[in-house]
C-alpha cells in the first residue's frame, strides 16, 4: 500500500488564538481526510469567544485524520488534524492508512528529504502560542496490550469533547488517592479559592490535563444550579444518566427553578461578554456623570465637510476625534489599573474601542492608534471594522487591546445610559440620540439638535474633577467644533 515515503505524520494542535482564549468551537471544516494541503492553508474555521477565525496549518502534506465534528468545542492544545508530510506516493492510499497515532505503534524517525527540510523551516505564518518551525521529536510509548480507541466522543464537565482517533487507550478514572493531573499553579489556586475538589473534574486538556477553563466551567455550572447539592458537598459529582444527558438536563435532588423555561448556554460571544462585564462589576468602582450638549454646530460642520467633496465623514469619526483630543488633555482616563502591583498604568497610545451590535452579539472592535488618525482616517477604519463585524470576519487582534471605549447607544433610539466599563479599561464615553429639543441659544428659546453625553469612569484612576473636566471639554467641542482647532 502506498504511503508517505521518507515522511512522517505530524499532529497540528489548536493554537492559542490570542488574549488568553482557552477554547474554540469548530464551525466548519475546510478540508477532508485524504486532501492534500499546502503550508499555511486554512484547514478549519473556528469560533472563539471573540471572533470567527480560519486556522492555517503550518505543515504541507496529506490530511490523515480530523479531530472533532462541527459544533465540537476544543481546548487550546487539543489535536485538530494530523498531516503526513514528505514525498507522497498515492495521496488517497496514504489517507486510507489512517493516522499513525491511532495504530498504537511507535513512530520511527525517518531521514528528511530536501522538500521536508524546507517545510520544516517553518512557514512564517505564526499564530499566538505556537511557531511553524519544526517541533522537537517526541517519543511515544508502545502499548500493545491495550487497544487504541477511535471515534470517542462525549461530555466532560458538561461540554462536548472531540470525536475522532484517540492517542492510546481511553484513560480510566483516576483513583481517589491518585495524582491530580494539574500543572498550572493558577488552576490549583482558583480551585482552592472556591473549595473545588480537582479530583472531581475530568480534564479537557491533553492526557486528561485539567485546565483553567475546566475549573471555570465547573464553577459556572455550580452557580447555575444554585449551589452544590448535598452529595457534591460530600465529595461526589452527580453524573447525568443517558436520558437526562440527551435532553441537556442534569439530575438533581431538587427540581429546577423553572422547569418549563428554555436554557440558553452562556458560550461563545455571549459567554465572553458575560464574563467580562461580571468581572468589571466586581473589580471596578465605577461612577457616571452626564451632560446635555447642543450638537447643532457639530452637525453643521459635518454637513459642510461632506459638501466639499472627497470621502464622507461619519459622525462617530468626529466624536472619536473629540475623544482623542480630550484624552490628550486628561490622560488619567486612558489608563488601566495593575491590581497585583497596586499601580495605575497611564498609556501613551489611544486604541479606541467602539461598541457594535451584530447578529452574534455585542462586540467591541478597536481602532489602533486613534490619536494619530484624522477624521477621514477614522471614518475609513470605522467602516472597515463595522463591515468585518457584521460579516463575522473580525480577528482576535481587531477585538483586543483597547484603552478607551466610545459607545454610541443613540442608534438604539435612547437618550442616556450608565454603561459598564470594558475591563480592564478605565472609562467609556456614551453618546445618546441627537434629537430636536427646545434650547436657550444666545438668550432666546430655539429648537436645537441636543445630545446627552455620559462618562462612566473608574474612580481609582481619578476623582470627579478630572472626569467632569473631560466630559465638559467633550461637550464644548460638540457645541463649538472650532475648539478643536487649538489642538490640531
In DSSP terms, 66 is beta-bridged to 81
Going 88 to 91 to 95 to 96, the CA torsion angle's sign is negative
* Enzyme catalytic residues: 459, 463
Q: Which of 96, 80, 76 is nearest to 88 (CA)?
A: 96
Per-residue b or e along 342-354, where b marks 16 or more CB atoms closer than 10 Å to that residue's CB: eeeeeeeebbbbb
Whether 95 and 106 have beta carbons less than 8 Å apart is answered as no
Q: Which of 355, 328, 362 is nearest to 430 (CA)?
A: 355
**What pLDDT does residue 217 have?**
81
**For residues 371 and 350, what is the distance between their CA atoms, to the nearest angstrom?**
6
**What pLDDT does residue 21 have?**
67
**What pLDDT does residue 19 have?**
53
All cell numbers assigned to 382: 470605522
**What pLDDT does residue 249 have?**
40
**For residues 67 and 411, what is the distance between their CA atoms, to the nearest angstrom?**
43
Cα dihedral value 242, 245, 249, 250, nearest 10: 70
Whether 23 and 15 have beta carbons less than 8 Å apart is answered as no
Tens digit of pLDDT at every position of the chain (488 positions):
333 444 588 999 988 776 556 778 888 899 999 999 998 899 998 877 666 778 889 889 999 999 988 888 888 889 999 999 865 444 444 444 444 444 443 344 444 444 444 444 444 444 443 444 444 344 343 444 444 434 434 434 434 444 444 444 334 344 445 566 765 656 777 787 788 888 788 887 777 778 877 888 888 777 766 544 444 444 444 444 433 433 444 333 344 456 678 888 887 777 878 888 899 999 999 999 999 999 999 999 999 999 988 899 999 999 999 999 999 999 999 999 999 999 999 999 999 999 888 877 778 999 999 999 999 999 999 999 999 988 888 888 898 899 999 999 988 899 998 889 999 999 999 999 999 999 999 999 999 999 999 999 999 999 999 999 999 999 999 999 988 877 66
All cell numbers assigned to 319: 466624536
Q: At what angle do helices 315-329 and 464-479 cross, to 10 degrees?
A: 140
Q: Is the peptide bond before 62 cis (omega within 30 degrees of 0)?
A: no
Whether 57 and 40 have beta carbons less than 8 Å apart is answered as yes
**What pLDDT does residue 101 have?**
41
**What pLDDT does residue 94 have?**
40
**Number of H-type helices and E-type strands within the chain:** 11, 21
DSSP string, 73-142: EEETT-EEEEEEEEEES-HHHHHHH--GGGS-PPPPP-PPPHHHHHHHT--S-PPTT--SSPPPP-----
Residue showing cell 435532588? 253
In DSSP terms, 88 is beta-bridged to 4
All cell numbers assigned to 458: 473608574
All cell numbers assigned to 276: 467580562
**What pLDDT does residue 87 have?**
52
Whether 405 and 382 have beta carbons less than 8 Å apart is answered as no
Amino acid at each position: 500500500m502506498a504511503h508517505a515515503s521518507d515522511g512522517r505524520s505530524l499532529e497540528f494542535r489548536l493554537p492559542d488564538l490570542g488574549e488568553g482564549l482557552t477554547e474554540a468551537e469548530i464551525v466548519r471544516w475546510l478540508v477532508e481526510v485524504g486532501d492534500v494541503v499546502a503550508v499555511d492553508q486554512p484547514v478549519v474555521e473556528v469560533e472563539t469567544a471573540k471572533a470567527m477565525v480560519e486556522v492555517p496549518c503550518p505543515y504541507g502534506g496529506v490530511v490523515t485524520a480530523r479531530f472533532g465534528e462541527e459544533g465540537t468545542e476544543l481546548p487550546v492544545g487539543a489535536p485538530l488534524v494530523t498531516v503526513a508530510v514528505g514525498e507522497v506516493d498515492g495521496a488517497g492510499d496514504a489517507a486510507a492508512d489512517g493516522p499513525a497515532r491511532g495504530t498504537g505503534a511507535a513512530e520511527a524517525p525517518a531521514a528528511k528529504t530536501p522538500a521536508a527540510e524546507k517545510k520544516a523551516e517553518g512557514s512564517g505564518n505564526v499564530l499566538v502560542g505556537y511557531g511553524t518551525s519544526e517541533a522537537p521529536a517526541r517519543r511515544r510509548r508502545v502499548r500493545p496490550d491495550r487497544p487504541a480507541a477511535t471515534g470517542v466522543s462525549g461530555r466532560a464537565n458538561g461540554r462536548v469533547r472531540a470525536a475522532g482517533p484517540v492517542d492510546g487507550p481511553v484513560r480510566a478514572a483516576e483513583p481517589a488517592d491518585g495524582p491530580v493531573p494539574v500543572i498550572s499553579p493558577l488552576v490549583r489556586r482558583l480551585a482552592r479559592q472556591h473549595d473545588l475538589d480537582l479530583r472531581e473534574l475530568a480534564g479537557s486538556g491533553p492526557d486528561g490535563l485539567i485546565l483553567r477553563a475546566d475549573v471555570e466551567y465547573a464553577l459556572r455550572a455550580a452557580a447555575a444550579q444554585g449551589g452544590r447539592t448535598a452529595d457534591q458537598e460530600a465529595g461526589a459529582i452527580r453524573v447525568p444518566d443517558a436520558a437526562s444527558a440527551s435532553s441537556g438536563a442534569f439530575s438533581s435532588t431538587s427540581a429546577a427553578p423553572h422547569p418549563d423555561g428554555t436554557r440558553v448556554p452562556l458560550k461563545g460571544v455571549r459567554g465572553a461578554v458575560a464574563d467580562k462585564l461580571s468581572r468589571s462589576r466586581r473589580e471596578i468602582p465605577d461612577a457616571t456623570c452626564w451632560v446635555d450638549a447642543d450638537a447643532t454646530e457639530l452637525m453643521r460642520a459635518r454637513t459642510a465637510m461632506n459638501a466639499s467633496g472627497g470621502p464622507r465623514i461619519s459622525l462617530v469619526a468626529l466624536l472619536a476625534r473629540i475623544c482623542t483630543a480630550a484624552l490628550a488633555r486628561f490622560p488619567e482616563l486612558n489608563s488601566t489599573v495593575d491590581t497585583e502591583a497596586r499601580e495605575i498604568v497611564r498609556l501613551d497610545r489611544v486604541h479606541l474601542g467602539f461598541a457594535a451590535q451584530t447578529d452574534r452579539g455585542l462586540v467591541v472592535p478597536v481602532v489602533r492608534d486613534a490619536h494619530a488618525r484624522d477624521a477621514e482616517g477614522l471614518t475609513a477604519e470605522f467602516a472597515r471594522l463595522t463591515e468585518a463585524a457584521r460579516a463575522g470576519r473580525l480577528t482576535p487582534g481587531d477585538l483586543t487591546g483597547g484603552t478607551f471605549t466610545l459607545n454610541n447607544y443613540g442608534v438604539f433610539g435612547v437618550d442616556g445610559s450608565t454603561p459598564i466599563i470594558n475591563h480592564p479599561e478605565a472609562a467609556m464615553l456614551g453618546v445618546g440620540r441627537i434629537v430636536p429639543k427646545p434650547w436657550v441659544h444666545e438668550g432666546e428659546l430655539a429648537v436645537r439638535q441636543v445630545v446627552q453625553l455620559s462618562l462612566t469612569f473608574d474612580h481609582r484612576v481619578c476623582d470627579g474633577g478630572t472626569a467632569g473636566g473631560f466630559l465638559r471639554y467633550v461637550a464644548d467641542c460638540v457645541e463649538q467644533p472650532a475648539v478643536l482647532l487649538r489642538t490640531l
